[in-house]
């Protein structure tokens, strides 16, 4: 399990997809890309989809994602994407009241229970008190990471260890 924080954009693309019966059908699918701007998101999704699409292709919509961090699974059967809403619980020292701040993550898993497990796995390494408010399956087909932002985790060391 690895996580990546970035500026994510949700894109909707329409193209001719060859169905299982061999017929072509226009479909609209949702993908997530890592980009700095709307124009870069459009350029990047067009480049990525050109490897999979041979016919007509349109980018129908681009919108900034409600999440800044994505949890990627290493398990091959984790083929779905879930939005997980967490409430971080903090104590206000002045009023001594509980404060909750809502955060959304995108989680790769096979099922809702798998998504819960992955969230708990990542959050167990933090000291933040949290509560899972909701987990919902999305229609996202895949997430494309920006090549320039990819790092080899094995070779990458924090600055203080160099």
Mean pLDDT within 133-148: 89
The answer to whether residues 133 and 87 touch, using CB atoms and an 8 Å cutoff, is: yes
Is 118 exposed, middle or buried (CB count within 10 Å of its CB: 0-12, 13-18, 19+)?
buried
Task: Say whether pLDDT at 148 is over 80.
Answer: no
State pLDDT tens for residues 150-162: 444 444 544 545 4
Q: Each residue of 57-88: pLDDT tens digit?
A: 899 999 999 998 999 999 999 999 999 999 99
What does residue 49 show for φ and ψ, rounded to 5 degrees? Answer: -70, -20
- What confidence tier does 147 reach under pLDDT thresholds 50, 70, 90? low
Report pTM.
0.82
Neighbour count for residue 61 (Cβ, 10 Å): 13
């Amino acid at each position: 399990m690895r996580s990546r924080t970035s500026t994510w954009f949700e894109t909707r693309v329409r193209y001719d997809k060859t169905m299982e019966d061999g017929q072509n059908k226009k479909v609209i699918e949702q993908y997530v890309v890592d980009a700095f701007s709307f124009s870069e998101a459009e350029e990047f999704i067009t480049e990525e989809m050109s490897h999979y699409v041979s016919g007509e292709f349109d980018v129908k919509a681009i919108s900034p994602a409600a999440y800044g961090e994505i949890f990627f699974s290493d398990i091959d059967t984790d083929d779905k994407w879930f939005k997980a809403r967490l409430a971080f619980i903090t104590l206000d020292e002045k009023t001594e009241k509980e404060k909750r701040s809502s955060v959304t993550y995108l989680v790769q898993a096979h099922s809702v229970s798998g998504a819960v497990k992955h969230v708990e796995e990542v959050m167990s390494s933090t000291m933040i008190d949290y509560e899972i408010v909701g987990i919902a399956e999305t229609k996202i087909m895949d997430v494309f990471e920006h090549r320039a932002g990819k790092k080899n985790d094995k070779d990458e060391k924090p600055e203080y260890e160099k």
